[in-house]
Amino acid sequence: MSQQQQLLKQELTVSQILRTYGKAFRQVHMRYSDGHDGRCAVGVFMSYYGWKGKDDSHAGEKLLGASIALRHPGVSKDLIIRLNDSGKTFDEIADYLDN
């Protein structure tokens, strides 16, 4: 990833990532990915940071990157997981985080 791409990624908020990048995926629950086009909210962040949605040697690295990015603005990964698995849409999770 180029330095410019990294800077662009740093400029988006957690809610902006969910609202924009989440549109590329069908929402799933209780897992990060269905191995195809389905992602949970945390799976969207992992994919935003380069994860392809498959269980591979890089999945842990992408989860760590996503966790660090979420922690930085003070967002709890566990909160996002709870909101996702309770049935909230990506937009509803983003709205919750913005308020």
Mean predicted confidence (pLDDT) in 16-39: 95
Number of CB atoms found within 10 A of residue 92's CB = 14
Task: Judge contact between 66 and 46, C-beta under 8 A.
Answer: yes
What is the reported pLDDT for 18? 95
**pTM of the complete model:** 0.79
Q: At what angle do helices 59-71 and 41-48 cross, to 10 degrees?
A: 100
Range of the domain at 85: 3-98
Q: Is the pLDDT of residue 49 over 60?
A: yes
Nearest one of 26, 46, 21 to 37, comparing CA atoms: 26
What is the reported pLDDT for 96? 93
Q: Give the total number of structural domains in the chain.
A: 1
Structure tokens given for 97: 């985080």
CA angle 35, 93, 75 (to 5 degrees): 95
20-24, 54-58, 78-82, 87-91: range with lowest mean pLDDT:
54-58
What is the reported pLDDT for 17? 92
